[in-house]
Amino acid sequence: MSNRIVKIGTRASKLALWQADYVADLFKKAGLASEIVQIDTKGDQVLDVSISKIGSKGVFTQELEDQLLDGRIDIAVHSAKDMPSRLGEGLELIAFSVREQAQDVLLSAQTHLSLADASKEITIGTSSTRRIATLKHFYPHAKAVEVRGNLQTRIRKMEEGLCDALLLAYAGVYRMGYSNLVVEHLDLNQFIPAVGQGSIAIEACTSLDSKLREAIVSACNDTATAICLRAERAYLRVLEGGCSIPVFALATLADNQVHLKGGIVSLDGQQRIVLELTGPLTEAEQLGEALAIQVLQAGGKTILEQIKQSPH
C-alpha cells in the first residue's frame, strides 16, 4: 500500500483544485501518496447556457466518471452538491469530508445591501433554480440574472455591473478567501441548501481494491457528515432531483438522532412545501425516503410535474 500513488481526478477550476488539494493533504497525513489529475467537464466548457438547459445529469461529473471507469484515475473529488441523485453502474460515493457551514450567502461590494430591504430594486446573480425560486417566494422585489462560471468569473461579472450581488454557497466563498465580500448570511429556514452543500464527496469504482478503499475512507470520511448526506441523498433520489429541480434538504445530528428538513418550491416561487422528520442514526436513508414521500404527497408531486413540463 505504501508505494501506491492514488490518482485523484478533479475539475480544473480553482475551487475544485482546492478540494483536490484538501483531499491530498488528508491522504498525506494518513501516509498515502497521491497525484492530482485535472479533467475538463462539460459544465466548465459551456458557460453561456444555464445548467438546466445543458441537462442536469452529471454536467460537472461525467468526464471524471469516464476516467474512473477506464482506470485512468482511482478516485474523483467533487462538491457533494454537484453529484446526481443516482450514480452510474459500477460507481459509488465512498467518503464525505467534514461539512463546512451549509448556508447560502450574499456577496457584494455594496456593504449595506440587504435582501430584506424591499425599498430598493436589487439584481442578484445566480444560476441555481432553487435560489431563484426561493428569491421569488420570499423576496419578490429581487431580480435574478443568470451568472455562470467559476467564483472569480462571477465576481468579475458583478464588478462589471451585471448584478448588485451574488447568491452563493458559503463553503466555496470561504474556501476561495472571499469571506470579506459576504454582506449577508441567509436564513437556513428560508434558503434551505442544496443536498450535500458544504461537503466534498469522494467517488470511486465499486471494483476499487478493498484495502485501498479502506485507507481512503479512513483518511477522508467524516462519519457525522456521511450520515447526514446519506439522508439528504436518499431524499433527493426519491424526488429524482437534478441540478435543474428546486428541491432542497438539510440534515443535522443531535441527541443521537438525525433531523431532516426538506422540501420543494415551484419555479414561480408561489408554492413552497417544507417538512421535517427525525429518526435514529441507523435509519438515515429510510428517513430521507420517508420525507420525500411526504413532500410528494403534500403537493410536491404536482410541483414536480409542472417543472418537468415547463420549458425552463
Residues serving a catalytic function are: 81-82, 130-131, 148, 154, 243
Q: Residues 89, 91, 93, 94: what is their CA dihedral angle, to the nearest 10 degrees?
A: 130
Q: Measured on CA atoms in the order 148, 228, 224, 205, is the torsion positive or negative?
A: negative
Long-range contacts of 131-135 (CB under 8 A, 24+ apart): 131/104, 131/167, 131/191, 132/246, 132/267, 133/246, 133/265, 133/266, 133/267, 133/268, 133/269, 133/272, 134/190, 134/191, 134/246, 134/265, 134/269, 134/272, 135/167, 135/269
Please name every residue paired with 248 in a beta bridge, in sequence order, or none if there are none. Answer: 263
Residue 169 CA neighbour count, 13 Å, CB half = 25
CA–CA dist 20, 28 (Å, integer)? 12
